[in-house]
Amino acid sequence: MRFAPSPEQREFASSLADLLADADTPSVIRAWTTGDCAPGRKLWSRLAEQGVLALGLPVEHGGFGATPVDLVLAFEQLGRAGAPGPYVESVAVLPAILSGTSEAGRLESIGTGETVATLAMPPEVPFAVDAAVADLVYLVDGPTLSTARVTDTATSVDQARRLAGVEAADVIAAVDSAAAFDLGALATAAQILGAGAVLLERSTAYAKQRMQFGKAIGSFQAVKHLLADAAVGLDLARP
């Protein structure tokens, strides 16, 4: 498998970054945090038009047959923007799980942005993110895929992430979720990489502007070392 992005993939990532910048994602995040999901759903639809939500879908369900590299590039940009919503679940995980089950017919509406879906996969993923916003909520408990209903809620250190405890409702099928879980972990890692990169950029810019003892704090060795360590960590995380 080729892991180095092609020129076409780089162009896609660049166009996605432009879309997210134009969408004013900070205001979308603030609204999502207060429970106003309309701006977030609008962004969801715009990303569907860009083809992002169909990346993980099989071709027979309206997808593009995207590679893991395509997913990484998209989720890195989503992480940079902090776009709220169950993107990992809808784009990376559920297409791999629902294919071949009676719920496969739902995939096309996920890819077009009409449907927002989320899931829990205990014990590693005990909560479903944004279940109150999602149109479909699933539970993968061991080999069993079920529709799910919310039982309780929990707080997150990220106020834009609303966590829900769920329990099984109707059993759908027995599934092998290992590959889907790996794709979810990869997409989540890419999100974190994107978030880390933009935080480093903003921290570096602030260190050049913030004055202390008559000098920019970025000129102090202790601050330089912290920023350099973060840069090295991100550079090692990307490959």
pLDDT for res 14: 94
Rounded to an integer, the average pLDDT of 156-185 is 94
The overall average pLDDT reported for the chain is 94
Is the per-residue pLDDT at 236 higher than 70?
A: yes
CA distance 146 to 99: 14
Tens of pLDDT, residues 46-74: 999 999 999 989 888 888 878 899 999 99
pLDDT of amino acid 65: 77
- For residue 155, give both structure tokens: 């707080």
Per-residue model confidence as pLDDT tens digits over 210-220: 999 999 999 99
Helix residue spans in 82-213 (DSSP H): 87, 94-98, 107-111, 178-209
pLDDT recorded at residue 63: 87
- What pLDDT does 58 receive? 87
Task: Give the residue, 163 or 58, on which the prediction is more confident.
Answer: 163
Asked whether residue 162 carries a pLDDT value surpassing 80, the answer given is yes
Q: Dig out the tokens for 127 from the structure.
A: 């909560």
Cα 71 to the center of its chain, rounded Å: 10
The number of residues in the chain equals 239
Dmax (CA) for the chain in angstroms is: 67
Buried-exposed string 201-214: b where 16+ CB fall within 10 A, e elsewhere: eeeeeebeeeeeee
pLDDT score recorded for residue 239: 85
Instruction: Give Cα separations from 130 to 16, 37, 235 (angstroms).
Output: 23, 10, 31
* C-alpha closest to that of 167 among 124, 127, 115: 127
- The tens digit of pLDDT for each residue in 171-208 reads 999 999 999 999 999 999 999 999 999 999 999 999 99
What does the pLDDT read at residue 1?
59
| Beta pairing partners, 149 | 167
Whole-number Å distance between alpha carbons of 110 and 226: 41
C-alpha dihedral, 115 to 29 to 186 to 148, nearest 10°: -40
Query: Is a pLDDT exceeding 70 seen at residue 3?
Result: no
Structure tokens at 23: 């969408």
Please list, in sequence order, all residues whose beta carbon lies within 8 angstroms of the beta carbon of residue 202, skipping any fewer than 6 positions away: none
Q: In 133-219, where does DSSP find H-type helix?
A: 178-209
Residue type, 113: G
pLDDT at 144 over 80: yes
Question: What are the tens digits of pLDDT across the range 96-133?
Answer: 999 989 999 999 999 999 999 999 999 999 999 999 99
